[in-house]
Structure 1
Amino acid sequence: MSGELRAEEFQAPGPADFNLPPVGGDFGSFHLFGQEWVLGVTKPMIQVVLAAVLVFGLFYLASRKRAMVPGKLQYIGEQGYGFVRNSIGRDIIGSHDFQRFVPYLFTLFFFVLFNNFFATIPFLQFPTFSRAGMVYGLAALTWVIYNGVGIRKHGLVGYLKLQCLPSGVTGPILVLIVPLEFFSNLLVRPVTLALRLFCNMFAGHLLLILFALGGEHLIVELGGAYIGVGLLAWVLFIAVAFLEVLIQFLQAYVFVLLTAMYIAGALADEH
């Protein structure tokens, strides 16, 4: 009975664990939509800036002393650029139009990747994009770019027609198809693009917290017969941490891959 009571003392991690306090204190607060909003610089904000600096610094150093026989850093930079340029840009957008979008796709991939990797780096150990607002900003930028290039090529009316009127579809069914296509292609895409990255980063980090803190509680607070279960929780924590590294890479790849697909769809003459 006492073990059950002590087990109930464990506070399971939840969304509140992602609401980090401002670094160095807050600058004030205000009320909006029935909630209190605190002004301040948070850890995810710092990580966004840090990721931008690291991406710029890494590839600046990799390209600063270019040589016919590349050194290790130049080789890493060339392989990273070639991966995004060829496997995503050229293969998805096509050889005619892809080159002008490579700088954005390249920067976007490594920016997302570095922010995802922060979840497994000691002393940081927080995925930047487990905060939805950060991801929606990137998705909104992608939304502006692919709609912008589509409107620039086809004109506003022509672009809306291509996005909302599937080729070969005629008749009364258009009353149903046109609103669905408009909703799907122009409104939902940035939301689903953001949610995919956000949910994976959020769920993975929450799972790591659960195994780490749960194992500690079983070993330190309960002890006895619970020690074995606590050690198993820590083993699962390590296994999930390695799995998360793979997921962090895949989510960066998927985010940029879908961005390239949306750009290709905006440039296409028909769907």
Structure 2
Amino acid sequence: MALFANAMQLVAPVFTAQESGGGFKPPTMAEFFPEIVLFEGTPFAMNRIMLIRILMTALLLLLFWLGTRRMRVIPTRGQSLTEMALDFVRVNIAEDLLGKVDGRRFLPILTAIFFSVLAFNVTGVVPALNIAATSVIGFPLVLAVVSYVTFIYAGIKKSPGNFFKNSLFPSGVPKPIYIIVTPIEFISTFVIRPVTLTLRLLMNMMVGHLLLVLLFAATQFFLFSGEGFFKLFGVGTLAFGFAFTLFEILVSVLQAYVFTLLTAVYIQLALAEEH
């Protein structure tokens, strides 16, 4: 029922347009720039996506507060679920890549990244929200900057005088070759990493939203506006819509995992002995 409600929410604007004689209306990029709903004309102007971000941030804080406010030796069900969630990041990402000492050191930021990305991703399939809060570049870009700054901080903290030197001038390379190697290292290490982190998350969530809207909009069009045989296409697009909704949930989890994992990998590289 939740999936069906989500589908109806997605196609509601299309249904309205068709009733007024507008015909089939495919999704457009305008969906990612909704109208301002609060504080219009001020620096604090908010649209629907910003409100979703605030909602999910508050929900995350509430869930973790409820799960950790009364810690017991014999955990309650809520405490057990919270500990399992936190242990997933600690064991499978932080300590697995960075070891116990550095893993615990960077665990807070890795945990914050994982659960914020996950929470903001899944809003794309939540009825009445219907758009991922990471499908607009602001949040992915901020997280990429956080990851980038953490990576540089880890490297400078590990080797204050050699981090940038070793990053740009790898050992064992003949000096004349540095003319080629150093620009490549600079671009790949200090430019491409934050860009790819941002675009990977952004484009996955944008494409997922557009695909779901297209499928459910086509379903509504074929079932209510199609004639004869064409109504059968609506059954197919509806089935694909539900299938891709489940797939989008999987993508939401995977993107949270990949973003956090890559952040940990970059930290690990910064802490490597050669730095």
TM-score, structure 1 as length reference: 0.88
Rounded Cα–Cα distance in structure 2 between residues aligned with 1:184 and 1:143: 13
Match of 2:108 in 1: 103
Structure 2: runs of 5+ lacking an equivalent: 1-17
Match of 1:134 in 2: 139
Match of 1:55 in 2: 60
- Cα contact 1:118–1:127 (8 A) shared by 2: yes
RMSD (Å) for aligned C-alpha atoms? 1.9
Match of 1:17 in 2: 31
Q: Secondary structure at the match of 1:65?
A: coil
Amino acid at match of 1:266: A
Amino acid at match of 1:129: T
The change in CA–CA distance for 1:241 and 1:262 in structure 2 (over 3 A counts) is same
Q: Secondary structure at the match of 1:129?
A: coil
- Cα contact 1:162–1:269 (8 A) shared by 2: no
Rounded Cα–Cα distance in structure 1 between residues aligned with 2:221 and 2:263: 43
Q: Are 1:121 and 2:135 matched, yes or no?
A: no
- Cα contact 1:115–1:129 (8 A) shared by 2: yes
Q: Are 1:257 and 2:253 matched, yes or no?
A: no
**How far is the alpha carbon of 1:152 from its aligned partner?**
2.5
- Cα contact 1:214–1:233 (8 A) shared by 2: yes
Q: Secondary structure at the match of 1:264?
A: helix
The change in CA–CA distance for 1:257 and 1:70 in structure 2 (over 3 A counts) is same
Rounded Cα–Cα distance in structure 1 between residues aligned with 2:94 and 2:166: 22
Q: Residue deviations 1:39-83, cap 9 Å, x none? A: 720122122222221221111111112122211110111001111
Match of 2:7 in 1: none
Q: Are 1:177 and 2:191 matched, yes or no?
A: no
Match of 1:216 in 2: 220
Rounded Cα–Cα distance in structure 1 between residues aligned with 2:107 and 2:195: 23
Q: Secondary structure at the match of 2:101?
A: coil
- Cα contact 1:63–1:74 (8 A) shared by 2: yes
Amino acid at match of 2:265: M
Rounded Cα–Cα distance in structure 2 between residues aligned with 1:223 and 1:59: 51
How many residues get paired? 255
**Relative contact order, higher structure (CA 8 A, sep 6+):** 2
Q: Residue deviations 1:183-235, cap 9 Å, x none? A: 11011111100111111100111100000001111221223221100111011
Q: Residue deviations 1:156-206, cap 9 Å, x none? A: x51112212233222422211111001110111111001111111001111
Alignment of 1:260-271 (within 5 A): 260-270=264-274
Rounded Cα–Cα distance in structure 1 between residues aligned with 2:236 and 2:149: 47
Q: Secondary structure at the match of 2:127?
A: coil
- Cα contact 1:20–1:42 (8 A) shared by 2: yes
Name which of 140, 158, 162 aligns with 1:158. Answer: 162
Q: Secondary structure at the match of 1:130?
A: coil
Rounded Cα–Cα distance in structure 2 between residues aligned with 1:189 and 1:255: 11
Q: Are 1:206 and 2:240 matched, yes or no?
A: no
Match of 2:230 in 1: 226
Amino acid at match of 2:190: L
